[in-house]
Chains A and B, each alone.
Chain A
Amino acid sequence: GDSVTQMEGPVTLSEEAFLTINCTYTATGYPSLFWYVQYPGEGLQLLLKATKADDKGSNKGFEATYRKETTSFHLEKGSVQVSDSAVYFCALRGSYQLTFGKGTKLSVIP
């Protein structure tokens, strides 16, 4: 079945540091790929998505590129802010179900 593996957290960075959160997936067919963010006490919000190979999703300074050859969708941001502190989930969607990774908690300190 479909599965998503993302790097374990927690990740602690200083403000303005570079962020990478790795995500790889296993799926049949050609799934759409997503990054969701969950701020404390809130539901998940879609951060960005990519629907086909080589697509790059981007939003709020975050980027991720759909790499079919490596089955990866790593999340990057060049300069993190304290307000980026949250849990980040990588997910895929091959049908109407979303399959999530376990989440990576990011803490950004001033």
Chain B
Amino acid sequence: NAGVMQNPRHLVRRRGQEARLRCSPMKGHSHVYWYRQLPEEGLKFMVYLQKENIIDESGMPKERFSAEFPKEGPSILRIQQVVRGDSAAYFCASSPEGGLNEKLFFGSGTQLSVL
């Protein structure tokens, strides 16, 4: 049973370009969470999705950021018109259910570098 798969591992973009980060949850998991880790910081919650639904996007910046988790295929975190401050490690986690004590399984992350 493969773990949470994120790609690419490293993504380099120039200011103003778009970044697309992909996350394939573990098999059988229908809940996906995105977190961002800035240098020297802990992970910060961004968004929580179930299949075809955004449950909580309270941690997402109001502009330029969007996320989806379609019925088929991976979850996508999209950042439009990237700026240098978007440089960070972006982690995806999944769980089979959304309960408080559900264990989250994390991917290895995508390191986004904005030049």
Contacts and interface: CB of A to CB of B under 8 A. Distances in A.
Interface of A: 4, 32, 36, 41-46, 51, 89, 91, 93-103
Contacts of A100: 35, 42-44
Contact of B107 (A32, A43, A51, A91): A43
Chain B interface residue count: which class? 20 to 34
B77 to A, nearest CB: 15
For B4, B44, B106, the residue with the greatest tally of chain A CB atoms inside 10 Å of its CB is B106
A36 B93 CA distance: 13
20 contacts: A32-B101, A36-B106, A43-B91, A44-B106, A45-B106, A89-B42, A91-B42, A94-B100, A96-B48, A96-B55, A96-B100, A97-B33, A97-B45, A97-B48, A97-B56, A97-B59, A98-B43, A99-B45, A101-B42, A103-B42
Interface of B: 4, 6, 31, 33, 35, 40-45, 48, 55-56, 59, 91, 93, 98, 100-101, 103-104, 106-109
B54 to A, nearest CB: 13
Contacts of A101: 42
B4 A43 contact: yes
A18 B56 CA distance: 41
A46 B42 contact: no
A47 to B, nearest CB: 12
Contacts of B6: 43
Given A51-B101, A96-B56, A96-B98, A102 B41 contact: yes
B100 A93 contact: yes
